[in-house]
Amino acid sequence: MTDETLILLLKISIGIGLCFIALGIYLHNFSDAIESLGVTGIIISAVCVAVGMALSLPTKMYLTFILVKRESDKSQN
């Protein structure tokens, strides 16, 4: 897998993670259906936020590592 393909996949993963975080926030704050579920609704919105965090944060760190490494390789050449 080339670096460009890996970077594209990581960016897509970050985007999906941010969408899950936004969905969890929307469900928690603005959805009457989730509010009517009670504790189960809170768990559903929390799971959306947790999945979003799991997708977005580690990939941001790895993507930053790849970009810094590529920049240092360019400056050495």
Contact 66, 3 (CB under 8 A): yes
pLDDT of residue 4: 84
Distances (CA, A) of 20 to 2, 28, 58, 65, 68: 27, 12, 15, 24, 27
Rg of the chain taking only CA atoms, in angstroms: 17
Which stretch of 3-12, 16-25, 50-59 has the lowest confidence by average pLDDT? 3-12
In single-letter form, the type of residue at position 43 comes to I
Give the chain's mean pLDDT: 88
Under the banding of pLDDT at 50, 70 and 90, the label for residue 23 is: very high
pLDDT band at residue 49 using 50, 70 and 90 as cut-offs: very high
